[in-house]
Amino acid sequence: MKVNPFETAKRQVDIVCDIIGVNGGVREILKNPKRELTVNFPVRLDDGSYRVFQGYRVQYNMARGPTKGGIRYHPDVTLDEVRALAAWMTWKCAVVNLPYGGAKGGVICDPKHMSMSELERLTRRYASEISPLIGPEMDIPAPDVYTDSQTMAWIMDTYSMQKGYSVPGVITGKPIALGGSEGRGEATGRGCAYVIREAAPHAGLKVKGSAVAVQGFGNAGSVAAKILHDEQGAKIVAISDSKGGIYTAGGMDPHKVEEYKHKTGSVTGFPGAQPITNEELLASKCDILVPAALENVLTKRNADKVQAKMVAEAANGPTLPEADEILFEKKVTLLPDILANAGGVTVSYFEWAQDIQGFFWTLDEVNQRLERTMVRSYGDVHKEAQARKVHNRTAAYVVAIQKVVDAIQRRGIYP
C-alpha cells in the first residue's frame, strides 16, 4: 500500500504537539496548509500539438515570514506530496532559524521525455499561472527534483516580464549571472556533510575512515559524497541512482563515479565495483548511510536491516515514523531531513538576502555562514534530544514547531 506523505507529515506534528502541549486551534493550524493552488494549463509541444498539464503550489505557513520551497517536475507528483513537502519546508526553515515559512510546488510531467524547448514553455506557463501567489515578499520558489538553475532563470524572467522590471529575489537557485549565490549548487550536500561531522562524536564515530553509502547520486548525494571523501577523509563504499547501485568495500573516488555517470547516464557498471540494488544499498555494510533519493525508502520492513551507525537524510522524507522507532531502538543516530538537508534552503536564504541588498558575498563567506548555521542548528537539536531523551527527528520537530507556535501566538489571529 502506498503511503500518503501528508498523513505522515501530520502524524509527525501530532507527536510533537503531544510532547510540547499544543492543542486546539493552534494544532489545527500546524496540520493544515494556509493556501494551495491547483492549475491546469496547456503547453505547445514540439510537434505542434497541445497538452494540458496539472501543477500545484502550496504555501503551508507564513507565521515566521514569506514562504520558501522548491518546484519539482515528476510524473508521480501529487497534491498530498506537495502539501507534505511544504509542511517539511516550514519546519526545516524554523529549525535553522530562517525568517521563512514553508511552501512547495510541482508539475505532473516526465521531463526525461521532453525537449528543452518544451520544458521552457511548460515552465513559463506554470510560472505565469502561479505568479499571483509568488514574489520576494510572499513566496520564493527554488529548484527541486528535475528542476535546475535554468528552470529558475525562466521563472525569474517570466515573472520579471509581467512586472516590467527585473526581480531577481522572486526565485533562488538562479545562475550566478542573474543574481544567484556562490555555493548554492552544493549547499544541500555541504550542509549535510557539516551535520554528519558534528554528530559523529556523539555517535561514537570518526568520519575519517568511516564507510559511507549514498543512495541517490544526484545533486545532494554526489556533493555530500565528494565533501565527505575530499574534506573529511571518509571512504565511499556504495553509491546508487534510479537505475541501480555499485558497491566496493575498499571505497571509490566519487569524482570518478560522477565522470562515469556523465558519460553513461548511470553509476551502474562502474569498473571494479559490484552491482547492488537500491534496496541492498540501504542494508549494506557501512558506518554512515545517506539516503539522498526520494521519500519513504526506510520502512518497518527494512529498517532493522540497516547496518549503519548513522543515517543522514539528504533527501526529503526518506524514513517513515515506524522506521524511526526501529532505528532509535537499534541506537542508530538519525540526522533528520529538516536538519540534515537544510543547507540548500539556508543558502537560498543567503541568495535572497543578497538579491534584496544588491550586494554579493564570496564563496568563502557563503560557506562560513552556512557552516555556522548548520553547527548551531545541530547543537540546538542535540541538546533537545538529550534533554527529552527522544530521537533527533522528534527533537528537531520540537525545536522547529515551538518556534512556529511562538510566532502564531505572538501574532494572534486576524481579524
Q: Which residue among 104, 261, 309, 403 is the active-site one?
A: 104
**Contact between 345 and 92 (Cβ < 8 Å):** yes
Q: Strand 211-215 and strand 288-291: pairing?
A: parallel
pLDDT tens digits along 186-236: 999 999 999 999 999 999 999 999 999 999 998 899 999 999 999 999 999
pLDDT tens digits along 294-317: 778 899 999 999 999 999 999 988
Domains and CATH numbers, the chain: 5-13+35-174 (3.40.50.10860), 187-340 (3.40.50.720)
Please give the average per-residue pLDDT across 119-141, as a whole number.
98
User: Which pLDDT score is estimated for 19?
Assistant: 95
Q: Is the pTM of the predicted complex or chain greater than 0.75?
A: yes
Q: Mean pLDDT across the chain, nearest whole number? A: 95
User: Which pLDDT score is estimated for 278?
Assistant: 92
User: Long-range contacts: 256-261, Cβ < 8 Å, 24+?
Assistant: 257/217, 257/225, 258/217, 258/222, 258/226, 261/217
- N residues, the chain: 415
pLDDT tens digits along 323-365: 999 999 999 999 999 999 999 999 999 999 999 999 999 999 9
Question: Which segment of 10-14, 71-75, 235-239 scores lowest on mean pLDDT?
Answer: 10-14
User: Long-range contacts: 22-30, Cβ < 8 Å, 24+?
Assistant: 22/401, 22/405, 25/413, 26/405, 26/408, 26/409, 29/61, 29/408, 30/61, 30/401, 30/404, 30/405
User: Which pLDDT score is estimated for 1?
Assistant: 64
Please give the average per-residue pLDDT across 139-165, as a whole number.
96
Q: Is the pLDDT of residue 2 over 80?
A: no
Please give the average per-residue pLDDT across 23-38, as a whole number.
95
User: Which pLDDT score is estimated for 5?
Assistant: 86
pLDDT tens digits along 75-86: 999 999 999 999
User: Which pLDDT score is estimated for 219?
Assistant: 85
Please state, as a whole number, how many other Cβ atoms lie within 10 Å of the Cβ of residue 396: 32
User: Is 104 known to be catalytic?
Assistant: yes
Output DSSP code: residue 267. Answer: S
Grid coordinates belonging to 163: 512586472
| Cα–Cα distance for residue pair 347/186, rounded to 1 Å | 9
As beta bridge partners, residue 310 has 288, 333
